[in-house]
A and B are shown apart, each in its own frame.
Chain A
Amino acid sequence: MDQQQRTHKRHVPTALGHDHPGGVDATHAHAHADVWLSDVSAGYGERVALEHVTLAVEPGSLLAVVGPNGAGKSTMLKLMAGLLTPWTGRIEILGQPAGREARRVAYVPQAEMVDWAFPVTVEDVVMMGRFPRLGPIRRPGADDRRAVQSALVQVGMARHLRTQVGRLSGGQRRRVFLARALAAEPDLFLLDEPVTGIDPTTQELLMDLLEDQAKRGKTVVATTHDLACAAARFHQVLAVNRTVVAYGPSNLVLDADVLARAYGGHLLVLDGRTVVLDDAHHHDEAAPGERHFHDHDGSR
């Protein structure tokens, strides 16, 4: 996709205030959207995770997906990444059915999904971002090493090239995984809880880098628990709770009324600051054998 088309922005259709989130003008946004879902329902085994999701995300968006535990945030990301096939509805990513343009998509899983004792160094992990474009047989070349080096410089991890990933702190691991995504040079970033459980410095750095990518016309979608971060650093917010509760500019979506709908009343508004109280019942339960795709939303 050429840069001209990427920077051409249209009004983002939002579901704000609608009773039917599916009623947005999604078909018209379709041609220009990097992420487009039309009446999508999906789940694991018998369990519904998301239903009737209709959504269009424009190129250059910096979108936070928020919602309580088990609301379907990670499921939303997996649908966009083509990791989960929807039961019903249609999904188009970068203008093609989900999964077709996979080499232009970088997906970063939650930290808990990875075996950190694995014998790979920081350099090895970031180089994995280059594997899909290399294809089988070909070994990484000078271009790939340059891309890896540049990505590691951006996240401030260049000095740790040869360190085994298990010896990094939580924040450093997130930096390395973002570097892997940057090294892939994708048009769409899908990040599952990229700023959860990390220090403020790392959070600022990661958000600066993502904002920079969005400015260049790349699309960034990230799930988060951190409503303050969503409000301060993301441009758009998608509030979900089994379906789309609200979608629009972050300052509009993150008001108490909308959040109350997303979080089902588990909200505490203190002097203008919103505190979310998590309910144990919202922790989703995956059936045995589905642990791989379990929404690990973490707990507070």
Chain B
Amino acid sequence: MDLLLEPLALSFFVRALIASALVGVVCAVVGTYVVLRGVAFIGDAIAHAGFPGVVVAYLLGLPFYLGAAVAAVGTALAIGFVTRRAAIRQDTVIGVLFAGTFAFGVFLFSGISGYVADLFSFLFGNILAIGAEDLVALVVLGLGVLVAVAILWKELLYATFDPLGAAASGIRVDRLEYLFLALVALTIVVSIQAVGIILVVAMLVTPAATAQLLTARFTRLMLVAALVGISSSIAGLYLSYWLDVASGATIVLVQTALFILALALGPRGLLGRRRGHAEDADDQLMGMPAA
């Protein structure tokens, strides 16, 4: 018990715990839509695009969140706009923007001498270093994203499942698409401090992917994903504290372990499918993907 309570006496650990728990939930909720839409690649691209924003904010002495938010949301909307208007495939556009924006960040950063430690924390996160002001910004942004999803979860669900039917019934699918990309961007901005640019895609995708192996019902899927997100954040942070290793990487590793466990043992995982015949038709915890 002392092992769990002892770090709570340290204010930096408490701040890190609040931040990483919230990041775990926000990423899992938005990540549910990311996984169902099959747009993990977009998340990765937006994360890398946040990098030059962070560097510019750093150089100008502006808040870190402001730079990241402007760059990430800007890139997200650009992806949405270009793929709607130009005759280029979306993955091609993303591939170009992904590498291009990240290169711009490296280009800017390489002009600054002797800040390798900071570069490392941008790329891989350093939640234990989060200050009180950054924590407030993180909580406000994170709660904002959750409120937006709470307001529009039905419309996002309908537009993801059947965009044509949703659009025909009056749901503004085109506007929702932009809003969704902006929400993904803000989620990533919130997460950069915790896990960094490189690992954020795991925070988005892994909890929802794990939940998909456990349930075939949307609302449960989002709930399970959020539980996986928050529990791996807390467990990962404690583990990293005890073992004195990088916190972001530890959180992601806990998520990955849970995913592998669900993949092996879950009702919709590798072993579950073989037992599939005995399922009760109305038990939504069991379910096979469509043939």
Contacts and interface: CB of A to CB of B under 8 A. Distances in A.
Interface of A: 45, 78, 81-83, 99, 102-103, 105-109, 113-121, 124-125, 128-129, 131-132, 134, 136-137, 160-167, 180, 184, 190, 287-289, 292
Contact of A190 (B152, B157, B166, B168): B168
B217 interface: yes
Of listed A108, A131, A161, A292, residue having the most chain B CB within 10 A: A131
B171 A167 contact: no
B169 A107 contact: yes
B229 interface: no
Contacts of B221: 119
A5 B152 CA distance: 36
B36 interface: yes
A160 B170 CA distance: 28
What are the 10 tightest A-B residue pairs by CB atom distance, in nearest-first order? A102-B170, A107-B168, A166-B290, A116-B290, A81-B168, A164-B216, A117-B289, A132-B169, A164-B287, A109-B164
Contacts of A167: 281, 287-288, 290
B152 A162 contact: no
A118 B287 contact: no
6 contacts: A99-B170, A105-B169, A124-B157, A128-B157, A131-B158, A166-B288
Contact of A134 (B89, B154, B283): B154
Given A124-B157, A161-B282, A190-B168, 14 more contacts: A82-B168, A102-B169, A106-B168, A107-B169, A109-B164, A114-B161, A117-B289, A124-B218, A128-B158, A132-B170, A162-B217, A163-B284, A288-B87, A292-B163
Contacts of A116: 290
B215 interface: yes
Given A114-B162, A131-B171, A119 B290 contact: no
Contact of B164 (A99, A107, A161): A107
B155 A120 contact: no
A107 B89 CA distance: 27
Contacts of A161: 282
B155 A131 contact: yes
Given A120-B218, A125-B161, A164-B216, A132 B151 contact: no
A83 B154 contact: no
The residue among B150, B157, B215 with the most chain A CB atoms within 10 A of its own CB is B157
Which of B154, B165, B284, B289 gathers the greatest number of chain A CB atoms within 10 Å?
Answer: B165
Contacts, number: 117
Nearest to B164: A109
Nearest to A81: B168
B161 A83 contact: no
B167 interface: yes
Interface of B: 36, 87-89, 150-152, 154-155, 157-158, 160-171, 212, 215-218, 221, 281-284, 287-290
Nearest to A130: B154
Contacts of B36: 118-119
Contact of A131 (B151, B163, B169, B212): B169
Contacts of A120: 157, 161, 217-218
Contacts of B168: 81-83, 102, 105-107, 190
B281 A124 contact: no
Contacts of A107: 164-165, 168-169
A108 B166 CA distance: 10
Contacts of B152: 136
B95 to A, nearest CB: 15
A82 B173 CA distance: 12
Contacts of A184: 169
Contacts of B289: 117, 166
Contacts of B162: 109, 113-114, 128
Nearest to B167: A83
A98 to B, nearest CB: 10
A163 B151 CA distance: 26
Nearest to A125: B161
Contacts of B155: 131, 136
